[in-house]
Amino acid sequence: MSYLELVNFNKKFGQTEVLKGIDLKVEKGEVVTVIGSSGSGKTTLLRCINFLERPDSGRMSLDGEILFDGDGIKNEKETELREKRLNFGLVFQSFNLFPQYNVIKNVTLAPTLLLGTEVKLLKKSLKAEGLQGKEIKERIKQYKEKRKTEIENDGIKLLEKTGLTEKAKAFPCELSGGQQQRVAIARALALKPKVLCFDEPTSALDPELTGEVLKVIKSLKGDDRTMIIVTHEMGFAKGVSDKVVFMSGGVIEEEGTPEEIFDNPKSAKLKAFLLNIGDKEGKESV
């Protein structure tokens, strides 16, 4: 069984079928890019994986655990949904940083809020151990302080990794698009997701800023980090992927290694897509 498995994902918006029986397997530590023209269902697929949309049918399992099966998700409690969501991270096309917080707070906010849940669990287990009220309080205080420092340090490390150390105290509105997207990546990493997803991370950026973001994403490869990247940057897809998936009209038309997809396309649709993109890129460079 693969690390992440999607079986027969279907999704309709009204009458429009956006996903038609998607099957996808991703191994641990693998980088999978999803390419295809606009409207082919790439973004919807990513949103379904992140529980932002509910597939009408299908099954998803991660690391042997079934996260979603058929329409069982409909009666799910918010807490369960949140727990499942935390397996995944998502970097949006439009960054969606929290404008009222500075860079470091953007990165540490979610882990800090999750600390509340951790403390609740700890309290329960301490009570079960039969500790006294005063001692419980003391232990929780220690735990909180320890975790807060850890979260802060993690945040600082992540900013180093994304090259934003000097911008820690800056607000999103003071940053370039590329910097904002790098903060968004650090923010997603802060929760240590098992699978990190990118939804066209450079599509909202000026061409001269895409490089710095792609470089950061590339640097994340390895360390057993599983990533699914929806992108229009073919050169990047070729360079970073272990596997490339080509989507068209809500189905996976073709998948394979970057060499297979880019150098030896089999289906007519993929050939046409690559030709079309090549033309555009050619024209742009002129």
Partner 1 sequence: MNNFWSVTASLLEGFWVTCAIFAVTLVLALPLGLIIAFGAMSSFKPVKAVVKVFIWVIRGTPLMLQLLVVYYGPALIFHWDLMPRFIATIVAFVINYACYFAEIYRGGIESISKGQREAGQVLGMTKTQIFFKVILLQVVKRIVPPMSNEIITLVKDTSLARIILVEELLKAAQEFTAWGLMWPLFYTGVFYLLFVGILTLVFRGIEKKLDYFRS
Query: For binding to partner 1 (CB under 8 A), which residues are involved?
Result: 50-52, 78, 82-83, 85-86, 88-90, 92, 94, 96-100, 109-110, 113-114, 171-173, 187-188, 191
Smallest gap from residue 99 Cβ to partner 1 (A) = 4
Least separation in angstroms between residue 80's CB and partner 1 is 12
Closest distance between partner 1 and the C-beta of residue 230, in Å? 15
The pairing of beta strand 4-13 with beta strand 16-26: antiparallel
| CA dist., res. 277 & res. 212, Å (int) | 22
**Shortest Cβ 191–partner 1 spacing (Å):** 6
Query: d(Cα 89, Cα 9) in Å, to the nearest integer?
Result: 20
CA distance 182 to 72: 36
**Residue 8, φ and ψ in degrees, nearest 5:** 55, 50
Token couple for 213: 């973001």
Closest CB to partner 1 among residues 200, 255: 200
List CB contacts of 89: < 8 A, sequence separation 6 or more.
188, 189, 191, 193, 195, 196, 197
Q: Closer to partner 1 at the Cβ: 97 or 251? A: 97
Give the nearer residue to partner 1 in terms of CB position, either 217 or 251: 217
What's the closest the beta carbon of residue 240 comes to partner 1, in angstroms?
22
Contacts of 164 (CB under 8 A, 6+ apart): 103, 179, 182, 183, 186
When the beta carbons of 86 and 131 are compared against partner 1, the nearer one is 86
Instruction: For the beta carbon of residue 274, count every other beta carbon within 10 angstroms.
Output: 17
Which pair of structure tokens corresponds to residue 1?
């069984």
Q: Which is nearer to partner 1, 115 or 136 (CB)?
A: 115
Q: Specify the residue, 81 or 220, whose C-beta has the smaller distance to partner 1.
A: 81
Least CB distance to partner 1 at residue 82 (A): 5
